[in-house]
Structure 1
Amino acid sequence: MPDSVIKWGKGDVTIRELSKKVQLENPEAISSNKLRKQIATVTQILSLKPNEAKQFAKIHEEFYELPVDVYQTAKVSKLLLMMEKGTMPVKYKGKC
């Protein structure tokens, strides 16, 4: 958002609102996640030059992938919460 105090917009909300405004037959079929997956598929089909493919990979890494420490912390937290609630799936019991 050039020249704006807001650096990041809510793309998912915007896509949802626009898909309703243009009166699509099936607006729920349009989502930011599906759009991202479609872009990834198309970029593979396009046989991009190495530098172009690298640019897409960099954007994906920067905006969509969680840092490893955040991902691991979230996974451990989830397991600890399940243990606390007594809802640990059978496949995890006895593996701590």
Structure 2
Amino acid sequence: MTTSDLTKCTKGGNGVAVEGLSKLEQELCKVLWRVEIIGKKTRTVPVLMTNELKEALDLLYQRRREAGVLETNPYIFATLHSEGHIRGPDVIRTHARNCGAIHPEYVTSTSLRKHIATVCQIMNLKDNELDIIARFMGHDIRTHREYYRLPDQTLQVAKVSKVLFNIENGNLQNVVGKSLDEIQIQPDEEVPRDEDVEDDYSTIAVSSTASITQTPGQSK
């Protein structure tokens, strides 16, 4: 991720598109930030961030000169006194070894992507929903098809985040056999909150039938 990428970070979605979303999805659009970075093969990959993470990155950006980052270094996760950047896989590998995991070799960005792909296989996703997930993960699994759809920004924040939150909290039973529209978040799950969100939307509704960074990788 570059400093230029961070300055283009946005929250919310297209007004018309948001109107077609559920209350939960509208809430997620209000509390999650979205930024696009360049991934493998120069493919644009979106990253979703909570308010807490966005504030941390803003602080990192504001204090970079005090820490010894060169003005000419374009990266958010910059190495000191050089033009380089810290590699995501190296950071994951280090923390996997230090966290006490029994099999730290399994804690990789590739393993996480495979886990998300496996969860998607046991969900009842429609063809266009598979494409939404694929674009979010940086993969193009149906290059020969195009669908009439809402803007990617709105879909990635509102719908994909529901899958990611359930995976993060270990609630796979909430997504089995469901489409993206059917997935909800349990009342006791922690969901990022925005102090500016109106009271009418402050409580996430869960239906009676209720109840997936950005893949960690080589983000710059």
User: Normalising by structure 2, what TM-score?
Assistant: 0.24
More helix by share: 1
Q: Which has the higher contact order (CA 8 A, sep 6+)?
A: 2
Q: Which has the higher strand share?
A: 2
